[in-house]
Structure 1
Amino acid sequence: MSGGSSLFSGFRVLGLYSNHVPHVVRFHKKHREFYLVTAVGKCFHTYNVSRLGIVAVSNSLPDDITCLAADRMLVFAASGRVISAFARNKEVVMCYCGHRQEVRVLLPLGDQLISADSGGDVIVWDVQGGEVYLRLEFDPKTFDVSAMMHPSTYLNKVLLGSSQGALQLWNIKTSKLLFTFPGWAAGVTTLQQSPAVDVVGVGTAAGQIIIHNIRLDETLMIFTQDWGPVSSLAFRTDGPPIVVSSSPQGHIAIWDLEQRQLVAQQRHIHSTAVAATTFLHGEPLLITNGADNGIKVWLFDQEGGEARLLRSRQGHSASPTTIHHHGNNGKNILSAGQDGTLQSFSTVHDRFNKNLGHGSINKKKEHKKKKGLSYEELRLPAITAFSSTATRQSDWDGIVACHRGHLAATTWNYQRCTMGAHHLHPPSPRRDIVATAVEVTSCGNFALIGTSCGRVDIYNLQSGLHRGCYGDDEKAHNGTIQGVATDTLNQLTLTTGCDLLLKFWRFKSRKQEEQLKLNATPAKMMLHRESGMLALALDDFTLLIVDIETRRIVRKFSGHRGNINDMTFSPDGRWLITAAMDCTIRTWDLPTGCLVDCFLVAMAPVSLSMSPTGDFLATAHVDSLGIYLWTNKSLCGPVGLRPLPADYQPSVETLPGVTVDVHEHEMKSEEADDTYKSAQQLGAELVTLSLLPESRWKSLLYLDEIKRRNKPVAPPVTSVAAPFFLPTTPGLTPRFASSTTNEQEAQSKVLRWGSLFQNSEFSSALLSALESGSFEHPLHLLKDCGPAALSIEFTSLTSEGGGANAHLLAFIHMIDSMLSTGRDFDLAHAYLALFLKLHLQSLSQDAPAMAALLRLSSRLEAVWMELRALFDQSLCLLSYTKSALL
């Protein structure tokens, strides 16, 4: 028996932005905006540079992407030996297969694509057809292609760089080697075209930046950076002669080509190697990305030539280990990673993300960085556990964390996004004692810290002062503290340790009241304060549920086949969700004591957290940098949960991917604007109102009163008559007559019979619509008229007004058509009310019109009965909701 999760479905992943693959920058002429493409595993993301908002996510490829390239229409991604061309940043429209080794360099060139693999093959592809236009084979031992570039104004020419140091200029149309550059005794890592024609920048594995003229084969200047190989080069194109080089240590160097000197250097702009640097054309903006899962945009407006960070998207550079929801709205997730950072990810939008930074040993020592104290020596190791509350975060620090191998716990301020003011250092006689558990009370005033020697100390968060410890001999347990918890009212403290005991303490007096003996060593403890249920995960892979009121074990669960890494309660306390090293996520129903949901994931989950609103489950996994969100299906509809058998075999659920925020204004496609257009009618049982202002239809029933109120005091001034030689056509709107009649008819003084009737455009369109059955055109004409014009048009429908009885019948059919489609419901009733007010006496003497009116009356009654039923249902539901809230 097997199946997927019946309770959770994958929604999206947070915190994934970039990896070690160099990014690609594109310019969209229609949008007049730059777009950034970065690789993330098996797919790539597209961001707009103006806001770094994600606009597209590509479909996944079978393997991880190894390199990227882009031209005006397509994005090319190499995955293993296959190159895929993506249109609209999403769909694969062409695959290029022919390489025998992994593709590692791509270069679009007009209608052709040039690719090089690790086996020495360089293939020129026809982009449209996918055929091989040219194949060049190199011996990797003598010329291993490591970089490619198309020199500007060099038609059909490609410059190839090798890891041996030599460069070759090829004509790909004639398949001829034009010139060989001997190189500079170091492997070529990158090639970049400079703003000057014939001049290219060459980065080498020895850290040299060579500015070389390829037409004259003359080296203009050479720079050397001290940080190892040059990972990328970027030339500034908005005026200043600047070139930027990057290194695998995460630093960049800024060089002045006129002064031929180093202008500035900026260290640790990325915590890992800088994958690529790109200057936007004609702008002082530099884009960098790295393997630390970060994208950054730098603005060059500082004195001395340095750049400042303009905007960024930064996730964890190492996998997160502990995640918790912060606050009661469920929109923010605090995450501590192995990279030593504490970050907050928003489930609403990336612009609300926060990076609280790294912990430091002593903030007062940070000014000593320039005195020889290294950057790494100031950092604290990764956070192993933390606790937070939003109750008093506006007044003082609301987050407390303990670090790997350290006794002191650190405080953090969520609103200021910085490390807090206090280091909570429990007294300890030995240096090998470390903090193992931490808890912040629900009031936000106190923090409890458990250590590996069995102490549990309490601190005041406002002042950072020590307020005491639990236990008569200053030891709460005879072993490492595995968990600390406090209830909602700060009356009870619960602790558990490696001595197989669960102890209950009075919070204020710190006196022990009771203890429970456990069957195995506890590994994790979590308290659901609202229900008073305490969950314990033991080393024998079992779970215990303890009621802190009766202080008895009320439930025991078993089924995991690996260490239980984390657990979380649902907001109502009904479910306990656990994650273990057996790669399963299980949901236990506490009232029935049964397993109701279980599913497998590809990577073992290390931490999870249920939203306080119950809408999302957040998980973190081994060797994954993202935080994955799962939708709670029970909030969207009825979910049939039944106890799962003991031999239940769960199936693997695919981890969710990145989704594009539909609230983003930039969600339009780059190649086509796929703007959603609402349907004219949503459903047959519903009605749709017009978008006209109320003054256009609501005042139709009060036209007489409006005319009396707006009656002019002075008589109207007659307009100057048109010259006699400019004939006009009869009608409500005077128009000059076209000279289509012959001269004899124009000179005749005998009037034709039909010229006495002034048929307006609406009257003519109404008769034509009666024959065709489509009333779109006359209705469109009415929508353009004001209340006074509508009154005149409706008056002229009778024979006294110049019309005929057929106009009345056609108008009734138009109203019937509007009611049958359900569109423009407000206009239909307003038009019908004015029409009956003007022509009710004439209609009573016309048998066909009366029959049509009777049919229209029955349709009106049926439509209103349906609407009234929907109104009553909505009002009843609203009243019930209001009474439940009260």
Structure 2
Amino acid sequence: MPEASNSRIYTGSRVLGYVSTHVPFVARFIKRRGETLLCTSVGKWFHTYGCDKFRLLSVSGEHPGPITCMSGDNYHVYTASENNIYAWRRGCELKHVYKGHNSPVHLMFPFGIHHISIDEDNVLKIFDIKDESEFLELEFDQTTFKVTTLCHPPTYLNKILLGSEQGQLQLWNVRTSKLVYTFKGWGSAVTVVEPAPAVDVVAVGLASGKIVLHNLKFNKVVMEFIHDWGMVSALSFRLDGVPVMVTGSSEGHIVMWDLEERRVLSQVKKAHYSKISGLKCLMSEPLMVTNSEDNSLKLWIFDLPDGGARLLRKREGHSKPPTMVCHCEPSGNNILAAGSDSSLHIMNTVSETFNKNLGKASHNRKKSKKKKRLQMDHLILPPITKISSCMQRDKQWDSIASLHDGFFVATTWSYDKMRMGDHKLKPPDMDKGIVANCLTVTHCGNFVIIGYSNGQVHKFNMQSGMHRGHYGKEDKLAHKGAVRGVETDLCNSRMISVGADDLLKFWHFKSATTPYRVMRLQESVTSTKCHRDSGLLALANEDFTITLVDIDTMNIVRQFDGHEGRITDIEFDTQSRWLITSSMDCTVCTWDIPSAQLVDVFSVEQPCTSLSMSPTGDFLATTHVGEVGVFLWANKLLYEKIFLKPIDKREINIPKLKLPSTAPEKPEIDDLGVIDLGDEPEYRSPIQISEELITLSDQPTSRWLNLLHLDIVKKRNKPKTPLTVPKSAPFFLPTIPSLELEFDLEKDKDGNRETKLLMPDSLSTLTVFGKKLVGCETDENYEKCIEKLKTLSPAAIEAEVTSMAPDAGGSIDVMKQFLRMLDVMLKSNRDFELAQSYMSLFLKMHTKVISHNEELRDVLVAVEDTATQTWAKLQNQLLYNICVVKALKDM
């Protein structure tokens, strides 16, 4: 059986929407950049963000398994995956690998030249950072002291403080490997330990919700606080001179405590929708960063009147796996994604900086806004199951409609305003227990058609949200059973509905009590997809087949059979040549509609729940079970010559592809320590490149751009009044004979115009550059003259070229040599713009001399031929690139 190693059409590109997991982030201040960098785990990779603009700076290499914990110092970012620890420089360069643990590592802490790590077997190991050697190993009994957290108290040399699940604290000297002291604890598991700005004091967060500030030196409690929202999951102190402690809870709340008055200063409820994993106040700034397993990273600023924090910046994705994805713009740059967390996101394929969160669907948007971040769970609507959009009237009114799981009310969203709409679309006199199953927004954007589980189909106005009628007779039933799909054509003249009664009905759009055509289907339909431009309607059947119907002729035109599981989604490409389908059998199939043949198939690890083809045809976007990201697959047919042939699914081994990652895929190797970071590209000098291409010089434009206009520049820069140099007084001042002392200054007023330097006519009047040019015989000599010319200023270059004329002290030989130098420059394929500029200046200055001298004309013809060949080579490359870019834009 032949085996395919890859998909014919698609290749993994990247994933959108991953920001953070349950692993606490790492904050590192880079002095050279003057910026704090934030590193967050996203599964097998970690992202590095700049704190100033929250831009994604780099993505690490792939780890063998999910990252379990992270730490960092001034030089490295340390990540733990499975049983090994990895040290990274600049966020993507692997420098060290530390091996020795027999179980996954869950705690790490850089400690000077050493690195401390604790695994799930309760074994503490200390590694030398440079040598990667093991310095110390301590094993703890899990029944009496299971380590849950650790820190280093400042000024405590070579000592670390360990917290346990049993509630005790232990102070260890890691240099002598001796236990210094054991603190009894407070009867609850220690979840976090953080040194306070005060010496000898540490803050201890407990699973019971208590926060204790404890003095290690005297073993006394300084003060205690009680957390009302579950266990303390994160803790930090403000480091900008304000005595405030900040704590995060397992419920996603943040509390600011005033340490001087020993009270709550302020609080932020529902700062995150899940447990706060990491919390850090930045050094010397009123800023705080938090991350959570709800897939978000947020920057807060302490600028409220009560000392509270305000959200300044954020990066976030779906907190639960999205189940619906669709492109919403003709450019294909923005993707709508909705899913289990009841929120709607816009994913940008160009830069994730432009990602937007339209918020969570709510019963009452205004009330939820007043309550701030939906504190009341009963306001949040169920997960979104269906979305449909049309951007024709997006500036005037809402352009997106969505359905919710087990809910009969449809909601609207505004793409332009980036928020949930004000309308709730519900038909009058709808009985309880009825569920909205399917919907579609018309091509004009004015109406939305919704089908329900009781067989009714209703029409609503998107601008006003008003009910505009139903399809069917007085009983309002369009089908005897649940409606499985509703579609409209391009001109809003027809509405097509499919029901559980296995009937496909064609209705007049404006008003219809009876359909004008009814088709009996062979199989029950689960979902539909209509391509309005071509008039093709795809039906996903319960027997895992796909039926294609032409809505103009109202006939079945194609039948596709090949899936072995429930079909989850159907998608047409822009030209309606391909039909792309996904199924619960973990396969994604591409069918060629004209030939009715399967042309591509591949499988993935997790079943695809939704897919959408870009309007430009460059990317296929998919969502998968258990994944919170939106995955992009590049269309290889745009940049490769591929001939598609029919595939028999039963005769080949279906290739299994890895889901696209945030980093380029690496070859599978056993040891990540010798991971191939990519070979350095071999350096090619301009001389090597010029053998194939034409190169420009490294000269600034000011050296050559204005050579033809120096007279205009000089005239523009000429001062309005001439500069006057003061007359220097003679050593012996002559006097005028008179009774009063007066100096005779008229004697030297005109100055002595006679020169003392006599130059015989027999001597050469050529410049130094001209003499060097006359002596050139080989290309190497000309190269030296070219280098000399590059060092001159524009004014000096003009003077050199002007002085080559016979009437200006030059000669015909110098002019011929200069033309030969230009010929050498053009033949070398280097310094293209300099050669053109020098030639233009030479022709401007010596046009009359060249026209009267036959020798100069002959040399100039040879230079013209060389210049024509060089320009033809450059022109061919430019025209080829312009044609390629234009062809890609027209696709």
Q: Which category of TM-score, normalised to the shorter sequence, fits these structures?
A: 0.7 to 0.9
Change (3 A) 1:552 1:221: same
Residue 599 in structure 1 maps to residue 602 in structure 2: yes
Residue 343 of structure 2 aligns with which residue?
341
Change (3 A) 1:198 1:459: same
Which has the higher mean CA deviation after the structures are superposed, 427-436 or 807-816?
A: 807-816
Which amino acid letter does the alignment assign opposite residue 362 of structure 1?
Answer: N
Residue 537 of structure 1 aligns with which residue?
540
**Aligned partners of 2:189, 2:776: CA distance in 1, in Å?**
79
Q: Tell me the alpha carbon deviations over residues 617-648 of structure 1, each in whole angstroms, 9 at most, x when there is no partner.
A: 10000000000011112222432111112423
- Out of 550, 553, 557, the position equivalent to 1:550 is 553
Change (3 A) 1:675 1:349: farther
Which amino acid letter does the alignment assign opposite residue 552 of structure 1?
Answer: N
**Aligned partners of 2:369, 2:702: CA distance in 1, in Å?**
68
Q: Tell me the alpha carbon deviations over residues 9-46 of structure 1, each in whole angstroms, 9 at most, x when there is no partner.
A: 11111100000001110111111110000111111111
Please state whether the residue corresponding to 1:469 is helix, strand or coil. strand
**Aligned partners of 2:91, 2:191: CA distance in 1, in Å?**
28
Q: Tell me the alpha carbon deviations over residues 655-681 of structure 1, each in whole angstroms, 9 at most, x when there is no partner.
A: 111259xxxxxxxxxxxxx99999858
Which has the higher mean CA deviation after the structures are superposed, 685-694 or 102-111?
A: 685-694
Report the alpha carbon displacement of residue 817 of structure 1 after superposing the two structures with TM. 3.6
Change (3 A) 1:180 1:263: same
Which amino acid letter does the alignment assign opposite residue 576 of structure 1?
Answer: L
Residue 395 of structure 1 aligns with which residue?
396
Residue 438 of structure 2 aligns with which residue?
437
Q: How many residues of Structure 1 are paired with residues of Structure 2 in the alignment?
A: 845
Q: Tell me the alpha carbon deviations over residues 707-745 of structure 1, each in whole angstroms, 9 at most, x when there is no partner.
A: 999999999867989999xxxxxxxxxxxxxxxxxxxxx
- Out of 578, 587, 592, the position equivalent to 1:575 is 578
- Out of 298, 301, 304, the position equivalent to 2:303 is 301
Please state whether the residue corresponding to 2:290 is helix, strand or coil. strand
Report the alpha carbon displacement of residue 861 of structure 1 after superposing the two structures with TM. 3.7
Please state whether the residue corresponding to 1:540 is helix, strand or coil. coil
Please state whether the residue corresponding to 1:231 is helix, strand or coil. strand
Change (3 A) 1:19 1:694: closer
Change (3 A) 1:182 1:71: same
* Contact 2:779/2:824 (8 A) holds in 1: no
Residue 738 of structure 1 aligns with which residue?
none
* Contact 1:35/1:46 (8 A) holds in 2: yes
Residue 797 of structure 2 aligns with which residue?
790
Which amino acid letter does the alignment assign opposite residue 423 of structure 2?
Answer: H
**Aligned partners of 2:775, 2:13: CA distance in 1, in Å?**
53
Change (3 A) 1:713 1:97: closer
Listed as ranges, the gaps of 5+ residues in structure 2 are 665-679, 732-755
Residue 654 of structure 2 aligns with which residue?
650
Which amino acid letter does the alignment assign opposite residue 513 of structure 1?
Answer: Y
Residue 739 of structure 1 aligns with which residue?
none
Report the alpha carbon displacement of residue 224 of structure 1 after superposing the two structures with TM. 1.2
Change (3 A) 1:236 1:799: same
Change (3 A) 1:532 1:236: same
**Aligned partners of 1:475, 1:653: CA distance in 2, in Å?**
45
Please state whether the residue corresponding to 2:38 is helix, strand or coil. strand
Residue 152 of structure 2 aligns with which residue?
150
**Aligned partners of 1:118, 1:779: CA distance in 2, in Å?**
70
Please state whether the residue corresponding to 2:660 is helix, strand or coil. coil
Residue 216 of structure 1 aligns with which residue?
218
Residue 236 of structure 1 aligns with which residue?
238
Report the alpha carbon displacement of residue 374 of structure 1 after superposing the two structures with TM. 7.0
**Aligned partners of 2:158, 2:715: CA distance in 1, in Å?**
81
Which has the higher mean CA deviation after the structures are superposed, 439-448 or 13-22?
A: 439-448
Residue 834 of structure 2 aligns with which residue?
827
Listed as ranges, the gaps of 5+ residues in structure 1 are 661-673, 725-748
Which amino acid letter does the alignment assign opposite residue 540 of structure 2?
Answer: A
* Contact 2:270/2:375 (8 A) holds in 1: no
Which amino acid letter does the alignment assign opposite residue 601 of structure 1?
Answer: V
Which has the higher mean CA deviation after the structures are superposed, 389-398 or 478-487?
A: 389-398
Residue 57 of structure 1 aligns with which residue?
59
Which has the higher mean CA deviation after the structures are superposed, 464-473 or 448-457?
A: 464-473
The 5-angstrom pairing of residues 478-489 of structure 1 reads 478-489=480-491
Which has the higher mean CA deviation after the structures are superposed, 232-241 or 148-157?
A: 148-157
Which amino acid letter does the alignment assign opposite residue 796 of structure 2?
Answer: A
Q: Tell me the alpha carbon deviations over residues 374-422 of structure 1, each in whole angstroms, 9 at most, x when there is no partner.
A: 7111111101112111111211111111111111111112222222111
Report the alpha carbon displacement of residue 167 of structure 1 after superposing the two structures with TM. 1.5
Report the alpha carbon displacement of residue 827 of structure 1 after superposing the two structures with TM. 2.5
Which has the higher mean CA deviation after the structures are superposed, 193-202 or 864-873?
A: 864-873
- Out of 272, 284, 291, the position equivalent to 2:286 is 284
Change (3 A) 1:592 1:43: same
Which has the higher mean CA deviation after the structures are superposed, 404-413 or 125-134?
A: 404-413
The 5-angstrom pairing of residues 24-63 of structure 1 reads 24-63=26-65
**Aligned partners of 1:316, 1:723: CA distance in 2, in Å?**
89
The 5-angstrom pairing of residues 44-443 of structure 1 reads 44-363=46-365, 366=368, 375-428=376-429, 430-443=431-444
Which amino acid letter does the alignment assign opposite residue 405 of structure 1?
Answer: G
Which amino acid letter does the alignment assign opposite residue 608 of structure 1?
Answer: L
Report the alpha carbon displacement of residue 303 of structure 1 after superposing the two structures with TM. 1.3
Change (3 A) 1:566 1:779: same
TM-score under structure 1 normalisation? 0.87
Which has the higher mean CA deviation after the structures are superposed, 462-471 or 542-551?
A: 462-471
Change (3 A) 1:722 1:42: farther
Which has the higher mean CA deviation after the structures are superposed, 421-430 or 836-845?
A: 836-845
* Contact 1:410/1:422 (8 A) holds in 2: yes
* Contact 1:568/1:577 (8 A) holds in 2: yes
Report the alpha carbon displacement of residue 219 of structure 1 after superposing the two structures with TM. 1.6
Change (3 A) 1:715 1:164: closer
* Contact 1:200/1:214 (8 A) holds in 2: yes
Change (3 A) 1:484 1:678: farther
Change (3 A) 1:780 1:286: farther
**Aligned partners of 1:721, 1:777: CA distance in 2, in Å?**
44
Two-structure CA RMSD over aligned residues (Å): 3.8
**Aligned partners of 1:854, 1:723: CA distance in 2, in Å?**
59
* Contact 1:685/1:866 (8 A) holds in 2: no
Residue 741 of structure 1 aligns with which residue?
none
Please state whether the residue corresponding to 2:288 is helix, strand or coil. strand
Q: Tell me the alpha carbon deviations over residues 352-394 of structure 1, each in whole angstroms, 9 at most, x when there is no partner.
A: 2221111222346548969xx9711111110111211111121
Change (3 A) 1:694 1:25: closer
* Contact 2:690/2:828 (8 A) holds in 1: no
The 5-angstrom pairing of residues 628-777 of structure 1 reads 628-646=631-649, 647-658=651-662, 684=691, 686-688=693-695, 697=704, 700=707, 773=780
* Contact 1:145/1:163 (8 A) holds in 2: yes
**Aligned partners of 1:750, 1:876: CA distance in 2, in Å?**
65
Change (3 A) 1:305 1:821: same
* Contact 1:68/1:77 (8 A) holds in 2: yes
Please state whether the residue corresponding to 1:2 is helix, strand or coil. coil
**Aligned partners of 1:375, 1:765: CA distance in 2, in Å?**
87
Change (3 A) 1:712 1:379: closer
**Aligned partners of 1:762, 1:321: CA distance in 2, in Å?**
75
Give me the identity figure in percent: 43
Change (3 A) 1:695 1:30: closer
Please state whether the residue corresponding to 1:791 is helix, strand or coil. helix
Which amino acid letter does the alignment assign opposite residue 217 of structure 2?
Answer: R
Report the alpha carbon displacement of residue 426 of structure 1 after superposing the two structures with TM. 2.0
**Aligned partners of 1:706, 1:288: CA distance in 2, in Å?**
58
**Aligned partners of 1:653, 1:96: CA distance in 2, in Å?**
31
Which amino acid letter does the alignment assign opposite residue 131 of structure 1?
Answer: S
Residue 527 of structure 1 aligns with which residue?
530
Which has the higher mean CA deviation after the structures are superposed, 174-183 or 840-849?
A: 840-849
* Contact 2:469/2:511 (8 A) holds in 1: no
* Contact 2:586/2:603 (8 A) holds in 1: yes
Report the alpha carbon displacement of residue 323 of structure 1 after superposing the two structures with TM. 0.9
Please state whether the residue corresponding to 2:176 is helix, strand or coil. coil
Which amino acid letter does the alignment assign opposite residue 835 of structure 2?
Answer: A
Please state whether the residue corresponding to 1:650 is helix, strand or coil. coil
